[in-house]
Amino acid sequence: MVDKYRLVQAAQKTAQFAYAPYSGLSVGAAISFIGTDKIYTGCNVENRSYGLTICAERSAICAGVSDGYRHISCVALAVYEPSGALAVGSVVPCGACLQFISEFSSSPQIKDVEIFVAGGGSFKLSDLLPQTFSIT
């Protein structure tokens, strides 16, 4: 499993590439998957039509899935305010991203994906999304 500090550092580095002219919040995500030591990263890419915005978490997950991985082991996020300061406090993935993380966290080796936030804090997926959408 990838070291959480490396994961947080990767999220912080990737946040600098965010395209966030509307919210002003630059978000970087780093995801580790079971079966590889590679870290997959993504940043938010906003759009005038907010529904078309791509969140950092989903961007990073898609990169890993495109490489053939299906089971997330952990997630790291870094969010920077328009001033360039690291946002701290109630920084968590949006509901869509939580569901997306859930889709790729159903491995018997990982009971609950941990989500680390740069600047402090960690959460379990089940604490943030106690009821996931499921067709079973």
- Per-residue burial over 6-43, b if 16 or more Cβ lie within 10 Å, else e, is ebbbbbbebbeebebeeeebbbbbbbbbbeeeebbbbb
Q: Which of 57, 81, 103, 114 is catalytic?
A: 57
Known catalytic membership, residue 46:
no
Q: What angle do CA 92, 95, 101 make, to 5 degrees?
A: 80
Concatenating the DSSP letter of every residue in 11-61 gives: HHHHHTT-B-TTT--EEEEEEEETT--PEEEEE-B--SSGGG-B-HHHHHH
Q: Would you please indicate which residues are annotated as catalytic (active-site) residues?
A: 57
